[in-house]
Amino acid sequence: MKRSLTDYPLAGKRVLVRVDFNVPLEGGRVVDDTRIRAALPTIAYLLDQGCSVVLAAHLGRPKGQIVDDLRMAPVAVRLAELLGRPVKTAADCVGPAVEKAAAALAPGDVLLLENLRFHAEETANDGVFAKRLAGLAEVYVNDAFGSAHRAHASTEGVTHYLPSVAGLLMIRELEILGRLLRDPARPFVVVLGGLKVSDKIGVIEKMLGTADAILVGGAMANAFLAAKGYGIGLSKGDGDQVAVAAEVLAAAGKTRCELVLPRDVVVAREALAGAPASVVPAEAIAADEMALDIGPETAAEFVRHVRTAGTIYWNGPLGLFELDHFSAGTKTVGEAIAASASVTVAGGGDTVAAARRFGLEARMTHVSTGGGASMEFLEGRALPGVEALMDRGSTAAAGRRPLIAGNWKMYKTRPQTSEFFAGFAPAVAGVHDRDILICPPAIDLETALAATAGAAIVIGAQTMHFAAEGAFTGEIAPQMLRELGVPYVILGHSERRQYYAENDADLARKVRAALDTGLRPVLCCGETLEDREAGRTADKVGGQLDAGLGEVGVAELALVAIAYEPIWAIGTGVTATPEMAQETVSFVRRRVRERFGDAADGVRILYGGSVKAGNIDVLMSQPDIDGVLVGGASLDAQEFARIVRFVETPA
């Protein structure tokens, strides 16, 4: 496992980040910002750490020449809009002027370099060029998974001169795609489409030994039909592709993997919008026709496989989806994949375009930005940009930084919020060895942020929805919080589970959405008095943890805090002793360790049961309690200040 930016000391450093901003432009504007959005969590994390950020990327294929239409300026404009802060630009990516601009950056500043590929030295992995890039920063972060299969100066060469770690997108790609190869939930179904069998032969060969079924559509299916002796008329997929397909058919016969080919296809004489089309059996394509989509019988069979799958990997459209006449197969199967409760991963530019056209993208577990890098990774090949990063040893923490959090629930107006911080901020001034978090009602967030500007107090939200947008009355989207400047969000609080029927499945989606947006979730868990008396604590709390952390990768775990709430000791008259609290918090850490190994030792676990100034010292003396989630006592500025200070750490 490669070292991530979350387990490397970055606070206040100048960081060079390789990002994948190779986005389409039209009329000097970005027309698809997917790849820019994918980099936001890493950029946001670095900004939260007080870093200055130098971004390096390529755009198009200028082949070592300056091409005005491929300048990064339009990307900087869109990035600034998404970040909600200015993005500085440079006229080049190396040289004295760029070095001066990088050196002048203050914490929180973002500088986007000019197109790396204006220099031929970039793709040649020139050592001098790589060293000049490295000279712009103190640490290197690679978040450009889409370029990780290239040994270029900005992906491999620079790692020889700087401490080098993976960004959040890079780690997520490696973990999700790696899971497909290591231990996919079964049945593991692979859906392949696109143009050429030869383009995906490496993946097909690998998946024949890994997947339970491979469903083949698109133009590449024609080569398989021809290899079986069927006429394919004017269809694409003839020539050398047929020999490659024949080899795959022979290899598939020696494995347990089921290779599923089309039974029927949609044919036409021309690949044009409005061209007369019909459905014919796969073996009955006329000499003057071409297959342009899978037929309804094939689509139904593919859907049956998808519905029973535990894991689905989709790469390539199943027809000429850009034309409505020939889009039904891709849309039908894509909708079934998106509706599946299994792990769903989509990869490849055309696949992403199809998923976006049919509104499926947000419903996938993961949409890879990798393209060729994804294919090579799934073939089992080493990626130079990944191999060059530092390996990670144990992430066990020598000492976890305390987190003292206050949850105001539905208390305090905006004037009362201002009044609270007027008294609280001076009372905790000078406290720098622990994190202070306050989560007011949503209506008070802007007031709280303004009142704490410049103070060592962090403002968080009490909940959020998992969707980016939609008809969810009264809800708050993750990006809305991010744009406000809110870095933390409480998820799964016992009151929301009780009164709003929040369930584990939705909370898992919320945790994932928070991390994807650059927010740090505080995941709550706890059991009732009935659960405790019946001996169900381990099952209840363990089940909540397993579900809530189900889509969290090892490298992301440090971004998540866990709050144990003994619901049985809140308002019941039953007292939870510090020893009882430690017992269950210790169980929480053991449960997390079962899934994440030593990374569990770096997770902050809070206690959230009737915390007061009178019991904070003894609670914080417990070995596994790293902080507290305070309710009513956080509403009083002086009382909460005493809780925050608990035992003062000697200077």
* 483-526 tens-digit pLDDT: 898 999 999 999 898 889 899 999 999 999 999 988 999 999 99
DSSP per residue, 113-126 = PPPGGGSHHHHTT-
For residue 224, what pLDDT is reported?
93
**Secondary-structure class of domain 184-380 per CATH:** alpha beta
pLDDT tens digits, one per residue of 358-390: 999 889 988 898 888 898 999 889 999 999 998
Assess whether pLDDT exceeds 70 at residue 399.
Answer: no
Distance CA 299, CA 217 (A): 9
Q: Are 514 and 464 in contact (CB under 8 A)?
A: yes
Q: Kindly report the pTM of this predicted structure.
A: 0.65
Tokens of 59: 């755009």
Asked whether residue 396 carries a pLDDT value surpassing 50, the answer given is no
Confidence of residue 304 (pLDDT cuts 50, 70, 90): very high
Residue 441 DSSP label: -
pLDDT band at 533; cut points 50, 70, 90: confident
For the chain, give every domain's residue range: 5-173, 184-380, 403-423+459-569+579-606+618-630
Under the banding of pLDDT at 50, 70 and 90, the label for residue 141 is very high
User: What percent of the residues of the chain are helix, what percent strand, and what percent coil, each to the nearest 5?
Assistant: 45, 15, 40
Which amino acid is present at 537? T
Q: Six-digit token pair at 255?
A: 């494995």
pLDDT reading at 607 higher than 60: yes
- In one-letter notation, the amino acid at residue 582 is Q
- Looking at the annotation, which residues are catalytic? 493, 565
Q: What is the three-class DSSP state of 319?
A: strand
> Which are the contacts of 448, defined by CB distance < 8 A and separation ≥ 6?
417, 421, 438, 440, 459
In 284-303, which positions are buried (b, 16+ CB within 10 angstroms) versus exposed (e)?
ebeeebbbbbbbeebbebbb
Whether the predicted pLDDT of 398 surpasses 50: no
Q: Are 324 and 273 in contact (CB under 8 A)?
A: yes
In CATH, what class is 5-173?
Answer: alpha beta
Among 135-139, 495-499, 588-592, the minimum mean pLDDT is found in 495-499
The closest of 113, 554, 176 to 347, measured between CA atoms, is: 176
Taken in order 399, 386, 50, 459, the sign of the CA dihedral is negative
Domain 403-423+459-569+579-606+618-630 superfamily per CATH: Aldolase class I (3.20.20.70)
Q: With 50 as the cut, is the pLDDT of residue 395 above it?
A: no
How much is the average pLDDT of 447-457?
A: 92
Query: pLDDT band at residue 649, thresholds of 50, 70 and 90?
Result: very low
Residue 571 confidence (pLDDT): 63
For residues 199 and 44, which has the higher predicted lDDT (pLDDT)? Answer: 44
> How do residues 270-289 score in pLDDT, each as one tens digit?
999 989 999 999 999 999 99
Pick the most confident of 139-153, 227-241, 421-435, 607-621.
Answer: 139-153
Beta-carbon count within 10 A of 243 CB: 13
What are the tokens at 95?
A: 């040289």
**Beta-bridge partner residues of 607:** 564, 628
- For residues 142 and 148, give the distance between their C-alpha atoms in angstroms, rounded to a whole number: 8
Mean per-residue pLDDT over the chain, rounded: 91
Q: Which 8-state DSSP code applies to residue 49?
A: T
Percent of the chain surpassing pLDDT 90: 70
Quick one: pLDDT band at residue 583, thresholds 50, 70, 90?
confident
DSSP labels, 522-544: EEEE---HHHHHTT-HHHHHHHH
Q: Is the pLDDT of residue 201 over 90?
A: no
Q: Decide if 184-380 and 403-423+459-569+579-606+618-630 have a common fold.
A: no
